[in-house]
Amino acid sequence: MEIIRTVDVERTYEDKGVPVHAVNGVNLIVEQGEFSVLAGASGSGKTTLLNVIGALDVPTRGEVFLHGEALSQKAGNELSAIRLTKIGFVFQAYNLIPVLSALENVSFPMVLQGVAASERRERAMAILDELDLAGLAHKRPGAMSGGQQQRVAVARAIVTNPALVLADEPTANLDSVTGHKLLDMMLRLNEEKKITFVFASHDEKVIARAKRLVTMRDGQIINDELRDGVFT
Ligand SMILES: Nc1ncnc2c1ncn2[C@@H]1O[C@H](COP(=O)(O)OP(=O)(O)O)[C@@H](O)[C@H]1O
Ligand SMILES: [Mg+2]
């Protein structure tokens, strides 16, 4: 099943009057169940493309379809609802809320969705448990290691059962062992719960785990290959 389709997507920035084609005519289809990595050198357009796919940014040309629906046709509040319910985000800098515990951070998307407190707590605890993070439930981000924070960020990203999880350089601030552990967890979520992941990363550890590797250069896709034949 198709989750995302970009059609001739372009995102151009103005830099002191000079146009920068951060993404320059990208056609990409993301199917349910993928574990895909957008790779490429720094500045090749990975983050911009991920943000456009996640409705955090708007293309200057072309169209993004989520479950067949054109994002350009959605009003701002509809896009917020889409980001909240259909897409999970994991960022390089974890982006947990510092004054909230792990449990409260994981519960937070459900607060925005209007889920009742008892159910929020139950679902957040269940995810933390499943990811072996229950021991961190009452800790704040400042009392956790980077790897722990990022695993809590993944828990927060998946607690709403999104169609798609987007992860931008999620291992960039982690040491190698911790980065592998995070990827083990994400791969397990992909295989056991069929959660769809799209990464933007130039980290060799992430690239080595990719089931589909999409390589970008100068805002364009220059190579797109399956690593294990799952999607052929
Ligand atoms: N907000 C912005 N304003 C101007 N130029 C930008 C902005 N964001 C990204 N760019 C430019 O777009 C290109 C792609 O950037 P980015 O998507 O961040 O690449 P990557 O994630 O692959 O490093 C780069 O040349 C970058 O400098
Ligand atoms: Mg980037």
Residue 113 pLDDT more than 70?
A: yes
**pLDDT tens digits along 75-100:** 999 999 999 999 999 999 999 999 99
Point out the ligand nearest to the CA of residue 22.
1
Helix or strand holding residue 75 (H, E): none
Q: How high is the pLDDT of residue 23?
A: 98
Residue 29 pLDDT more than 60?
A: yes
Distance CA 69, CA 83 (A): 14
CB atoms near residue 28 (< 10 Å): 18
**pLDDT tens digits along 166-179:** 999 999 999 999 99
- What is the reported pTM? 0.95
Residues paired with residue 28 on neighbouring β-strands, in sequence order: 6
Q: How high is the pLDDT of residue 214?
A: 98
Ligand 1 centre to CA of 139 (Å) is 35
| Mean pLDDT value across the chain | 96
Pocket of ligand 1 (CB under 6 A): 13, 15, 20, 22, 40, 42-48, 200
Q: How high is the pLDDT of residue 151?
A: 97
Q: How high is the pLDDT of residue 232?
A: 40
Strands 197-200 and 212-217: unpaired
Distance CA 186, CA 198 (A): 11
Residue 231 pLDDT more than 60?
A: no
Q: Which of 220, 150, 204, 231 is nearest to 37 (CA)?
A: 204
Ligand 1 centre to CA of 114 (Å) is 35
- Protein residue with least CA distance to atom 27, ligand 1: 43
Ligand 2 centre to CA of 143 (Å) is 27
Ligand 1 centre to CA of 168 (Å) is 13
Ligand 2 centre to CA of 118 (Å) is 38
**To 5 degrees, how large is the angle CA 142–CA 148–CA 151?**
125
Query: What is the average pLDDT across 26-34?
Result: 98
**pLDDT tens digits along 179-211:** 999 999 999 999 999 999 999 999 999 999 999
Q: How high is the pLDDT of residue 228?
A: 72
Residue 61 pLDDT more than 90?
A: yes
- Protein residue with least CA distance to atom 17, ligand 1: 45
* The two three-digit tokens of residue 68, written as one number: 């067949």
- Protein residue with least CA distance to atom 1, ligand 1: 13
Q: How far is CA 47 from CA 74, 83, 91, 162, in A?
A: 22, 16, 10, 20
